[in-house]
Amino acid sequence: MSNRNSGDGRRSASTRHRPARPAGLVGASAFAMCMAAPVSLAYAQQWSAGVEGRASVGYTDNVRSSAGEAEMAGDVFYRLRPGVGGYLNAPRATVFLGYALDVLIFQQNRQSNALTHAVVGLAVIETSERGQLQVEGEATFGQINNVLLQTEPEAGSVDFVPAGDNTFRNLSVSERFRWQASERTRWFHNAGIRSFDTSNDGARASATLGVQAGGGFEVATEGNTFDVSSNVRYLQLEAAGALGGEQDFVDVGAQARWRRVLGESWVAALQGGALFAVNTDADVGDRLRLVGGAELAYFARWGGAAVSYRRTSDPNLFLGVISTADSVTARAFLPLLGGEEQSSPLTLATSIGRQWGNGLDLDTGMDRGEWTTTLADVALLWAIRPALRASARYQFADQRGDGTLLPDYRRNTVTVEVTATYGGPPQQAPSVSDLAERETAEEIEAMDAGGEFDEGEGLAPR
């Protein structure tokens, strides 16, 4: 689900260039920005800083994700997302430290307001001409409303989220190392630890502790990329509700992925693998889960489109359970201006998807808690200038469950957002906007079962 970082230490395309998320209907509040200008230091080191601000206003017809139409409450909401990042760019290393704040205020339903803080530190070190080490630490905490947990149009993925107002705390430390063994072969390994806990409307909802390590290799040939990954992780899940209680288990996984460039415009990808959960408390909970997917994409100067199928089986941190889900998505983008020699400042992006799945009760080894989620999204993205962007967006979300894990709800949301930046990060450092996205469920989900399974650069031709 999460394309957190691309192989060279930069954010992957699906994260770095994602359009602005929710927030507005007509206009945006003014905000002030400041920045320390880059200053050259001795030894070819350079300090710099960047500041970004996002302001938006929007309307949703279901503030608290209520099931019945009689209980649904519509409201206008305002959202401010300032962020600041400091960078040290040295000859063989880049260090980033950033902070972002996310403030959500409803005009009438003030009890649903939300406030989130995010602090991230990242170091990318070139250990040699062939090796690169990336170390990252992250702390995010605060309150987040279900309205904010929305999928990007260009991502095209679907995910389910709990209703109500969630308070969460997330702490993680991870490392990734890559070694370019030859022109066509690369080896990698990764390790990390994460602690995550939530409360929903004041009551404890879930707690997760995860420790993982993994690795693999990638081989590239003319028009093809093939990689194999393996991973082992220890997970301790605690959840309230129907699947309540604590589950301790070791999850072992392996997966292979093949990516093929078909001419100048078409790209195809296949991946498949398996995960095996070993319950440390009882043998009855051991469970084999198959995962994988396929995607076909078309990219051209005038636009592009993609269709995909995916089966995943990972912890949902907000629920504190393993969720196994199938999803089908279609997405497209269409530049509305520009020609063959220049990119369009105005782009239309849309996606539609459907996901169905269930929770996994490791105490019994049985599936419990079915749900279905449908999402449709359309956005108009306007790059006014490199440091100034705007977007208008509509999203429809519909979630249906059997009452075991997730409530039913339906919601329409319309937003308009303006984003302004001042100062830019050096190469290989995340932008402040990347940091501001960390509070989403997608970005703070548990470590992928295969570690590197979903870390590729996506399907864009390279």
pLDDT, tens digit, 9 for 90 and up, residues 241-253: 555 677 788 899 9
Confidence of residue 57 (pLDDT cuts 50, 70, 90): very high
How far lies 141's CA from each of 11, 171, 236, 309, 445, in Å? 22, 9, 20, 33, 14
Q: What is the 3-state secondary structure (H, E, C) of 108-148?
A: CCHHHCEEEEEEEEEEEEECCCCEEEEEEEEEEEEEEEHHH
Q: What is the pLDDT of residue 293?
A: 95
Residue 14 pLDDT greater than 60, yes or no: no
Summarize the confidence of residues 373-380 as an average pLDDT: 90
Question: What are 150-165's pLDDT values in tens digits?
Answer: 555 555 556 556 666 6
| Mean pLDDT over each residue of the chain, to the nearest integer | 76
Residue 257 pLDDT greater than 80, yes or no: yes
Question: What are 183-224's pLDDT values in tens digits?
Answer: 899 999 999 999 988 887 666 678 888 999 999 999 998 889
* 235 is a domain residue: yes
Residues whose CB is less than 8 angstroms from the CB of residue 121 and which lie 6 or more positions away in sequence, other chains included: 95, 96, 97, 98, 136, 137, 138
Confidence of residue 283 (pLDDT cuts 50, 70, 90): low
Q: What is the pLDDT of residue 236?
A: 87
Q: What is the pLDDT of residue 447?
A: 27
Rounded Cα distance, 194 and 317, in Å: 11
The larger pLDDT score, comparing residue 273 to residue 11, is at 273
Confidence of residue 144 (pLDDT cuts 50, 70, 90): confident
Q: Closest by alpha carbon to 155, among 352, 5, 325, 9?
A: 352
Q: What is the pLDDT of residue 45?
A: 56
Q: Taking a C-beta distance cutoff of 8 angstroms, is the pair 401, 409 a contact?
A: no
Rounded Cα distance, 332 and 349, in Å: 6
* 339 is a domain residue: yes
CA 20 distance to own-chain centroid = 13
Q: What is the pLDDT of residue 172?
A: 94
Q: What is the pLDDT of residue 339?
A: 59
Q: Taking a C-beta distance cutoff of 8 angstroms, is the pair 166, 147 a contact?
A: no
pTM of the model: 0.75
Residue 406 pLDDT greater than 80, yes or no: no
Summarize the confidence of residues 174-179 as an average pLDDT: 95
Q: What is the pLDDT of residue 63?
A: 83
Confidence of residue 240 (pLDDT cuts 50, 70, 90): low
Q: What is the pLDDT of residue 134?
A: 95
The three-state secondary structure class of 340 is coil
Confidence of residue 387 (pLDDT cuts 50, 70, 90): confident
* 441 is a domain residue: no
Most confident of 23-32, 131-140, 428-437, 445-454: 131-140
Q: Taking a C-beta distance cutoff of 8 angstroms, is the pair 177, 191 a contact?
A: no
CATH number at residue 281: 2.40.160
* 444 is a domain residue: no
Among the residue ranges 2-16, 25-39, 195-209, 320-334, the one predicted with the least confidence is 25-39
b/e map 414-443, b = 16+ CB within 10 Å: bbbbbbbbebbbbebbbbbbbbbbbbbbbb
Q: Closest by alpha carbon to 462, among 4, 10, 102?
A: 10
Q: What is the pLDDT of residue 105?
A: 92
Residues whose CB is less than 8 angstroms from the CB of residue 11 and which lie 6 or more positions away in sequence, other chains included: 4, 5, 430, 431, 434
Summarize the confidence of residues 105-129 as an average pLDDT: 91
| Percentage of the chain lying above the pLDDT 90 cut | 37
* 2 is a domain residue: no
Q: Taking a C-beta distance cutoff of 8 angstroms, is the pair 400, 408 a contact?
A: yes
* 32 is a domain residue: yes
Rounded Cα distance, 288 and 253, in Å: 10
Residue 5 pLDDT greater than 80, yes or no: no
How far lies 74's CA from each of 57, 58, 375, 413, 414, in Å? 14, 11, 19, 10, 12
Q: Closest by alpha carbon to 425, among 378, 368, 387, 377?
A: 387
Q: Domain containing 208: what range?
A: 13-436
The larger pLDDT score, comparing residue 347 to residue 3, is at 347
Question: What are 62-87's pLDDT values in tens digits?
Answer: 887 777 777 788 899 999 999 999 98
Q: What domain count does the chain have?
A: 1
Residues whose CB is less than 8 angstroms from the CB of residue 435 and which lie 6 or more positions away in sequence, other chains included: 83, 85, 98, 99, 100, 118, 120
Q: What is the pLDDT of residue 23?
A: 26
Q: What is the pLDDT of residue 238?
A: 82
Rounded Cα distance, 70 and 62, in Å: 11
The three-state secondary structure class of 321 is strand
The larger pLDDT score, comparing residue 284 to residue 232, is at 232
Q: Taking a C-beta distance cutoff of 8 angstroms, is the pair 66, 426 a contact?
A: no
* 445 is a domain residue: no
Q: What is the pLDDT of residue 155?
A: 53
* 1 is a domain residue: no
Among the residue ranges 1-15, 233-247, 303-317, 393-407, the one predicted with the least confidence is 1-15
Confidence of residue 28 (pLDDT cuts 50, 70, 90): very low
Summarize the confidence of residues 279-305 as an average pLDDT: 82
Rounded Cα distance, 162 and 364, in Å: 24
Q: What is the pLDDT of residue 242?
A: 56
CA torsion sign for 61, 62, 67, 68 is negative
Which two three-digit tokens encode residue 397?
A: 């979300």
